Structure formats: C-alpha cells, structure tokens
Structure 1
Amino acid sequence: MNDTLRIRDMTPDDCRRVSEIRINGWRTAYRGLIPQSYLDALDVDADTARRRARLAQGDGVVNLVADRDGEVVGWAAHGPYRDGEALTEDAELYAIYVSPQVLGAGAGRALLAESTRRCTAAGHERMLLWVLRENTRARRFYERAGFHADGTEETFEADGAAVPEVRYAADLPLPG
C-alpha cells in the first residue's frame, strides 16, 4: 500500500460508502451535542438512496471524495450558498466528513482545499459554512484553514432539541 490520497468527483458507486462515513461522522462528532435518539435513527440505506437520487438528478451540488488507495475515506459537498430558499453569489461548504479511523491524516484538509479551489475557479469570492457551536474540533479545523465565525447563528431541531450552529466565512482564495 502506497498511501496515495486522491480527491475526485463522487460517483454513484461511492454513495453507500459516503453515507457510512457521513453517519459514522455524525455519531462520532455529535455525540452529546445532538440527542442520541436522533443519531441512532440515522439510516445508511435511506441516506444512500437519497444521495444516489440527488446525484442522478444533478442538483448543482459538487460532491467530492477522498480516495486513499481505492478506498473512500472522506467526502465533501459544496455549491451556492443557500439563504433560505434563495441562492447567493457566495459559495457554501455544505458538508465535510472523514472516516473516524483517518481523522488527522490529511483527508479533510485535502477535501477542503479542493472545494475552495473549485469555488474560487467558479468565481466565488467568499465561502460560508455552518458548524455546531459546541463542535470545538471542527471549529478549530476551519479556523486553522482561514475561516472565522462571522457572528451569525441559527438553530435546527433534532428530536425536539434545539441545536445551535455558528456560521463561518472566508474570503477566497484562502491563504496558503
């Protein structure tokens, strides 16, 4: 094994592995931050079906995977920033998840770098993202990459609990 990491576009064949990574990521990163009942109810089969359908319909989302020696170890998705139902000129990182077994090994940084590179190439001047307020590991990751909390906060509901999120922003291209 030569441990080569490659960032590439997601294919339909990647959808199940991406769903596994996403759900395992939620269950690992959000334990204690989101009700356990919500995390326990996440379903890989249902998530895979939704992911395949969205990929097939071409919804404008760019889905990338981190592939290490033929195994998908991470996933990121980006596209236009969603402000309610309206899209803006800004880009948004919708999601980035890495298999818990490879956290800290560079897949997340590589996915973020490719997403920001593609958003810059598409003419976006700024990228926004949402992160759970209490997810200090993720917040540190984004801050090291050049993002900063911009003062905007929202909550979403998960099994009756309000879960606060903080918006982060960065001008593109990112430094470094």
Structure 2
Amino acid sequence: MDVPPASPAASAPPAASASPAPVIRVRPMELADCDRVAEIRIRGWQHAYRGLMPQSHLDRLSVARDAERHRARFGQGDGAVVNLVAERDGEVVGWAAHGPYRDDVAGRTGDAELYAIYVDPARTGTGVGRALLAEAVGQCARYSCMRLWVLKENASARRFYERAGFHADGAEEPYDVDGVPVPEVRYTRSLRG
C-alpha cells in the first residue's frame, strides 16, 4: 500500500515549485529488515515510554539482542502473525505486527490483534504510523474486530488509536517493569460494516 504523508498545513496552498510528497510504501517484512526493525522498535520504546517506565529498563534495551530475536523468529510459525514495514524513499521507517487475538481461547472470538506498531522517532507525525495501521486493519477484514493493548498513561498513543476509530473497551491488565506498575488498557475497533 502506498500512501502520501499527511500535509502538516492542510489549509496552506502548495508552493508552485513544491516537489511531490514522498510516498510511504507498506510491504511485508523481509529477513534483511530485522536490524532496522529492531532499531526502530528499541528507539521507539526509549522515545515513547520515557517517563512512563523506569529509565534503567529503557537504557538496558539492546538493538542487537532485539535484531537477533527478530531473525530467530523470522519465517517461523504458521503465517498467522504478519509483520509489515513502512518505507519512505527506500528506507524502512516503521514496523507493525498483527494477527489473531492472543487471548482468544480456541479461536472462538474471531478477533484480530495489533501486537505492535513503531515508527522511527524522527518520523512520528508524518503519516507512517497511519499508513501501517491502515494496512494492518485492511489485512484483518476477515476478523470481527481488532484489539490492541496500550500503556494507560501513554496519552499520545491513545489519541492516535482514537483518531483511527479505536476506543477503550474497559479491559485493563496489570503490567510491571522492574517493580514499577505500568498498567495497560485494551482498545477495540469493529471491522464489520
């Protein structure tokens, strides 16, 4: 899926000599993307969760270890988990993963889950996250709804999901990082109608 980024000033007329906006291309993740995806994921955690999680935990995160984890898992499983990357001008600038809802007992609910979505911190607010989320939602059309978990105190992420049609459904989960509670709330979006 190719998506032009959102215009920062929608009301301003385009400049006469303005070049076309770079296109965001969303595609399946490849093995060669593992290092860049790990960098985006770890830098994304360190950026988005600063002040929400213990800094000592964020400082211990390792791009090299995360890349190795991605390489070890790549191509395993039954294909139910889908990893996507977003590219702009040939550079991977975002990553998302989705598949069946993990808390679904024996496939009874028929729900999808967005497991992760991260954008290079230098590219936040440029349409990359919206493009990844739109593609993930589109690929999950066979499900009745999509669910995701987000840190309760992560106001910017919660606004992002709310603008995309998700709503907090009342479910909460305790989550603990280095002895510090960082609870998560569940968001849901219907994929029917």
1:38 correspondence with 2:38:
no
Which structure shows the higher helix fraction? 1
Distance in 1 of aligned mates of 2:76 and 2:113: 20
- 2:164 counterpart letter in structure 1: A
Q: Distance in 1 between matches of 2:67 and 2:96?
A: 15
Answer yes or no: is 1:10 the counterpart of 2:29: yes
1:80 and 2:100 matched: yes
Distance 1:86 1:164 in 2: 26
Q: What SS class does the counterpart of residue 67 from structure 2 fall into?
A: helix
| Alignment match, 1:93 | 114
Work out the number of aligned pairs and report it: 172
Identity %: 63
Amino acid at match of 1:168: Y
User: Matches of residues 43-82 of structure 1 in structure 2 within 5 Å?
Assistant: 43-58=62-77, 60-82=80-102
Output one character per residue of 1:82-125: Cα deviation in whole Å (capped at 9) or x when no partner.
118765520000000001111111010000000000000xx101
* Normalised TM-score (structure 2): 0.84
CA RMSD of aligned residues (A): 1.7
Counterpart residue identity of residue 81, structure 2: V
Moved over 2 A (4+): 84-88
Q: Which runs of 5+ in 2 are unaligned?
A: 1-18
Query: Does the residue aligned with 2:118 lie in a helix, a strand or coil?
Result: strand
Q: Which residue number corresponds to residue 104 of structure 1? A: 125
Distance in 2 (alpha carbons) for counterparts of 1:114 and 1:99: 18
Q: Shift in Å at residue 58 of structure 1?
A: 3.2
1:56 to partner: Cα distance = 2.6
Q: Which of residues 146, 157, 165 in structure 1 aligns to 2:176?
A: 157
2:191 corresponds in structure 1 to 172
Distance (whole Å) between structure 2 residues aligned to residue 114 and residue 37 of structure 1: 34
For each residue in 1:27-77, what CA deviation from the matched residue of structure 2 results, as whole angstroms up to 9, or x when unmatched? Answer: 001001011111111111111111111113135310000011110000000
Change (3 A) 1:156 1:86: farther
Query: Within 2, Cα distance between the matches of 1:98 and 1:22?
Result: 8
Distance in 2 (alpha carbons) for counterparts of 1:55 and 1:61: 10
> For residue 13 of structure 2, what is the aligned residue in structure 1?
none
